[in-house]
Amino acid sequence: MKFLREGRIERVVLTRPAVEAGEKLGFLPGSLEEKIDPYLRPLFDAIETLFTFEESARLISSRQIEVIPLAFMRGRTLRKSFVVLDEAQNTTTAQMKMFLTRFGEGSRMVVAGDSSQRDIGTAQNGFTDAMQRLEGLNGITVVRLGLTDIVRADIIGRILEAYERA
């Protein structure tokens, strides 16, 4: 938000792939917005932890914060934007390439993912492919986080350790 207030960026764009967590939900009734809301709900939840409901609504309605499915990013150029791709471990190589090439002047991009929590197959995984291709490229920084970086709740680190031991 500091970048928005200072005019360094014009908007924050939050995106994620619409991938089911190992379940097939089939056809969802309703409008397009109602169909994609379950996939984007975690991003809205995150916004609501940072701002009041009124602030969130104002920032979203003014398009200073945009929440959009990854599939709808094709063809865009995101200038003066701070763009976050969440759940990147669920992208294909083609989706990741499409996302990364949306980059525009004055923008910053963050790609966040956890390879141990993939809901798609390992073949053609865009997240791991991008990590390998782009590490060391000028202008790209790869940061790997570990169990000590978990901030959601202390018990999550212990849960992950138990799964890794198995």
pLDDT tens figures, 107-156: 999 998 887 777 676 667 899 999 999 999 999 988 888 777 777 787 88
Query: CA 106 → CA 5, 58, 78, 134, distances in Å?
Result: 15, 24, 9, 20
Domain boundaries, the chain: 2-165
Q: What is the pLDDT of residue 49?
A: 85
Select from 145, 148, 151 the least CA-distant residue to 161: 148
* 67, 47 contact by CB (below 8 A): yes
Tokens (6 digits) for 50: 């940072």
Round to the nearest angstrom and report the end-to-end CA distance of the chain: 41
What global pTM score does this model have?
Answer: 0.80
Q: What is the pLDDT of residue 50?
A: 84
Q: What is the pLDDT of residues 2-57, one digit of tens each?
A: 787 788 999 999 998 876 555 555 566 677 677 677 777 888 888 888 888 899 89
Report CA torsion sign: 10, 98, 145, 39. positive
Q: At what angle do helices 53-61 and 32-50 cross, to 10 degrees?
A: 130
On whether the 2-165 domain is CATH 3.40.50.300, my answer is yes
| Number of alpha helices (DSSP H) and beta strands (DSSP E) in the chain | 6, 4
